[in-house]
Amino acid sequence: QDQPWTRYVPAYIAVMGSYYVAARPINAGQALMPDDIAVRQGDLTTLPASVIGDPAQLNGVIASNRIASGAPIRQELLRGITVVKRGQTVKVVTQGAGFLVSTIGKVMTSSAAGKMVQVKIQGGRLLSGIVRPDGTIERPN
């Protein structure tokens, strides 16, 4: 007869890929250098979601906690190198098709490159922008 039936079959799913581990013990506060990391291949489903799989994420970072040799490097164990400090005078730049505008202001909070920060410019107005590696602040147009 045409009666529906259900059959449960056990399955194992693995996602193989590359991830990064500490090549040697890394102390808290230490900037990561190329010799400090090694690439490993393995099943990514057995690792935390925050494990670093892209080497670009390891540029300009400092270990915020100690990382044991061979341990997977996770995002929550890293922080960016501070590029601008609270109260520092910075250049704020906005550019578009055919124009470039800049002003000077003071950063409201310390921040790493690539992070959003607020800057107080002349007259007390607050602007938001992204910190560049050179310490300037880029405003989206």
DSSP string, the chain: ---------------EEEEEEESS-B-TTPBP-GGGEEEEEEEGGGS-TTB---GGGGTTEEESS-B-TTPBPBGGGEEEPEEE-TT-EEEEEEEETTEEEEEEEEESS-EETT-EEEEEETTS-EEEEEEPTTS-EEEP-
CATH class (in words) of the domain with range 16-80: alpha beta
Average pLDDT over residues 107-131: 92
pLDDT tens-digit series, residues 18-69: 999 999 999 999 989 889 999 999 999 999 999 999 988 888 789 999 999 9
Q: Residue ranges of the domains in the chain?
A: 16-80, 82-139
DSSP bridge partners of 84: 111
Domain 82-139: which CATH number of 2.40.110.10, 3.40.50.2300, 3.40.30.10, 2.30.30.760: 2.30.30.760
Report yes or no on whether pTM surpasses 0.85.
Answer: no
Tell me whether domains 16-80 and 82-139 share a fold: no
